[in-house]
Amino acid sequence: MKCVGTLLLLGRCVSRRSLHHDHRHHQAQQSAGIIGAPFSRGQPRAGVERGPDLIRSAGLVHRLNQQGCAVKDYGNLTFEEVAGDESLGLMRSVRAVGSANRRLSEAVQKVKRDGHTSVLLGGDHSLAIGSIHGHSALVGNLSVVWVDAHADINTPLTTPTGNIHGQPMSYLLHELQSKIPILPNFSWIKPCVSARDVVYIGLRDVDPGEHCILKLLGVKLFCMTEVDRLGVARVMEETCDYLSAKQKKPIHLSFDIDAIDPSVTPATGTPVVGGLTYREGVYVTEQLCQTGLLSAVDMVEVNPLRAQTERDVQSTVGTAVDLLLGCFGRLREGNHPSDYSLPEP
Ligand SMILES: *[C@@H]1O[C@H](CO)[C@@H](O)[C@H](O)[C@H]1NC(C)=O
Ligand SMILES: *[C@@H]1O[C@H](CO)[C@@H](O)[C@H](O)[C@H]1NC(C)=O
Ligand SMILES: CC(=O)N[C@H]1CO[C@H](CO)[C@@H](O)[C@@H]1O
Ligand SMILES: [Mn+2]
C-alpha cells in the first residue's frame, strides 16, 4: 500500500492556513546548500570557528538526506589574514570582518543562483552581514527573522564593546545608513533591508543605543516578555501574519544559538539566562518552514571552547542540528517519504 495524499509527507513545507484546513498542497521540496564559515573575528573568544565542522559531524547532511532533503555541501570558506588590521577606536578586526563577509556574500549568491535554500554554518554573528547581503543581492527585498538574545544592531558609534558581531543589523538597514561611518573594507556593503521587514524573537539583553534604535524605527520584536505573555504559538502566528501582510517576500532566518536558554545551549560566547526552551526554538523553525518562504538560514555562535563539559557541547550542537532539521520540514509528529510503501506479509 502506498501512503500518499492523505498523510503529511516528508519534508514538505505547507502553509499555515492550508495546514489548519488539512489541505496540504504540494510544494517543491527545498534543497539545502551548506556553506561553512569558520570565522571568529567579529568577537574576541576563540572557538566559534569550530562551529561548521561540529555541526557537520553531528550528522547534519545525513539527517537532512534521511528526511528527504537534497543537500549540496559547498565546504568551508577560507579567510586569509588581513595585514595592518589595526583597531579603529573600540572597533577591532574591521578589515578582516569586511573582507570575510564580502567573500561570504559571493558564496551565498552562488548557492542561491544554484537554486538551494542557503545554510550558513558560523562562525560568529558578524557573518550575517555577508549572508543577508548575498541573499538579498540574488532574491531582492526579503524579510529577516532574527532569533537571538541580543539585537545585534549597535552602530560603530553606539557599540559598548567594539565587537562587530553585535552590529550586523546596523549595516544592513536602509534606515541606519546615515549613522554608519566609513570603514575600511566595508564600502561594498549596500543596505538592503527595511526595518519594517524585520522581526526579532528572543531578545533579553539589549544595549541602550540598540533599544533607542529599535524604538525609533518601530521594529517588530518579541522579546522574552512577549514570549512569556503570548506563548510561542501566538508569537509565530503574529510573526507570519506581520511578514505576509504586505507582499510575501523570501525569509532569511538568522538564528543565534544564544537565543536558546543556556541550560540547553551553554556552548556559546555570550550566554544570557532566561532564553527560549528547546521546544520553543524548534517550534519557531517548524512554523517558518511551513510558510514555504524560508530561503536562507544562518546558524551561528556555537562555540565548543565555552562549554564546561563534553555534554554541554553535545547539547548545544545537537540543538543547532535539530533547529536546522526543523527548517527543512522535520515534524515532531513524524515524517515518511512520499514513496514509502508498507511491507506486506
Ligand atoms: C572545513 O575545514 C576544516 C578545517 O578547518 C576541515 O577539517 C574540514 O574537513 C572542512 N570541511 C569541509 C566540508 O570542507
Ligand atoms: C524593495 O524595497 C525598496 C525599499 O523599501 C523599495 O523602494 C522597492 O520598491 C522594493 N522593490 C520591490 C521590487 O518591491
Ligand atoms: C576584500 C577586500 O576588500 N580587501 C581589501 C581590504 O582593504 C585593504 C586595504 O585596507 C585592501 O588592500 C584589500 O584589497
Ligand atoms: Mn547574535
User: pLDDT per residue over 211-241, tens digit each?
Assistant: 999 999 999 999 999 999 999 999 999 999 9
Distance 164 CA to ligand 4 centre (A): 10
Cβ of residue 30 lying under 6 Å from some atom of ligand 1: no
The pLDDT assigned to 314 comes to 98
Alpha helices (runs of H) in 161-261, residue ranges in sequence order:
168-172, 208-217, 224-230, 232-244
pTM: 0.91
199 φ, ψ (degrees, to nearest 5): -130, 130
What is the mean predicted confidence (pLDDT) over 103-131? 98
**From atom 14 of ligand 3, which residue's Cα is the shortest distance away?**
185
Residue 150, domain extent: 32-328
In this prediction, residue 180 has a pLDDT band, given cuts at 50, 70 and 90, of very high
Beta strand 220-222 with 251-256 is: unpaired
Ligand 3 contacts (CB < 6 A) are 95, 99, 102, 184-185
Determine whether the annotation assigns residue 20 to a binding site: no
User: Which stretches of the chain are assigned E, i.e. beta strand?
Assistant: 32-37, 71-76, 117-122, 143-147, 198-201, 220-222, 251-256, 294-300
User: pLDDT per residue over 21-56, tens digit each?
Assistant: 333 333 456 899 999 999 999 999 999 999 999 999
Distance 141 CA to ligand 2 centre (A): 6
Cβ of residue 40 lying under 6 Å from some atom of ligand 1: no
The pLDDT assigned to 201 comes to 99
Atom of ligand 2 nearest to the CA of 174: 4
Q: Is residue 269 part of a domain?
A: yes
Which residues make Cβ contacts (< 8 Å) with residue 228, sequence separation at least 6? none
Q: Is residue 237 part of a domain?
A: yes
Which residues make Cβ contacts (< 8 Å) with residue 216, sequence separation at least 6? none
Q: Which of 82, 300, 99 minimizes the C-alpha distance to 189?
A: 99
Q: Is residue 11 part of a domain?
A: no
Q: Which three cell numbers, joined as nine digits, stand for 263?
A: 541550560
Cβ of residue 140 lying under 6 Å from some atom of ligand 1: no
What is the mean predicted confidence (pLDDT) over 307-325? 98
Q: Which of 24, 129, 128, 11 minimizes the C-alpha distance to 71?
A: 11
In this prediction, residue 321 has a pLDDT band, given cuts at 50, 70 and 90, of very high
The pLDDT assigned to 26 comes to 36
- Count other C-beta atoms under 10 Å from residue 16's C-beta: 16
Q: Which three cell numbers, joined as nine digits, stand for 143?
A: 524579510
How many independent structural domains does the chain possess?
1
> Angle formed by the axes of helices 278-290 and 232-244, to 10°?
30
- Count other C-beta atoms under 10 Å from residue 226's C-beta: 18
Task: Enumerate the active-site residues.
Answer: 125, 148, 150, 152, 165, 256, 258, 301
In this prediction, residue 12 has a pLDDT band, given cuts at 50, 70 and 90, of very low
The pLDDT assigned to 30 comes to 84
Q: Is residue 175 part of a domain?
A: yes
Q: Is residue 161 part of a domain?
A: yes
Q: What's the mean pLDDT when you consider all of the chain?
A: 92
Integer Cα distance of 264 and 262 in angstroms? 5
**From atom 9 of ligand 1, which residue's Cα is the shortest distance away?**
53
Q: Is residue 338 part of a domain?
A: no
Q: Is residue 2 part of a domain?
A: no
**From atom 6 of ligand 3, which residue's Cα is the shortest distance away?**
185
User: pLDDT per residue over 118-143, tens digit each?
Assistant: 999 999 999 999 999 999 999 999 99
The pLDDT assigned to 29 comes to 66
Atom of ligand 3 nearest to the CA of 102: 1
Q: Which residue has the higher pLDDT, 68 or 73?
A: 73
The pLDDT assigned to 246 comes to 80
User: pLDDT per residue over 264-296, tens digit each?
Assistant: 999 999 999 999 999 999 999 999 999 999 999
What is the mean predicted confidence (pLDDT) over 311-323? 98
What is the mean predicted confidence (pLDDT) over 157-163? 98
Q: Is residue 283 part of a domain?
A: yes
What is the mean predicted confidence (pLDDT) over 163-170? 98
CATH at residue 67: 3.40.800.10
> In the predicted model, is pLDDT for residue 17 greater than 70?
no
In this prediction, residue 150 has a pLDDT band, given cuts at 50, 70 and 90, of very high
Judged on CB neighbours under 10 Å (0-12, 13-18, 19+), 139 is middle
**For a pLDDT cut of 90, what percent of the chain falls above it?**
88
User: Which stretches of 96-204 are assigned E, i.e. beta strand?
Assistant: 117-122, 143-147, 198-201
Look up residue 73 and give its DSSP letter. Answer: E
**From atom 13 of ligand 3, which residue's Cα is the shortest distance away?**
185
Distance 167 CA to ligand 4 centre (A): 9
In this prediction, residue 336 has a pLDDT band, given cuts at 50, 70 and 90, of confident
Which residues make Cβ contacts (< 8 Å) with residue 49, sequence separation at least 6? 38, 39, 40, 123
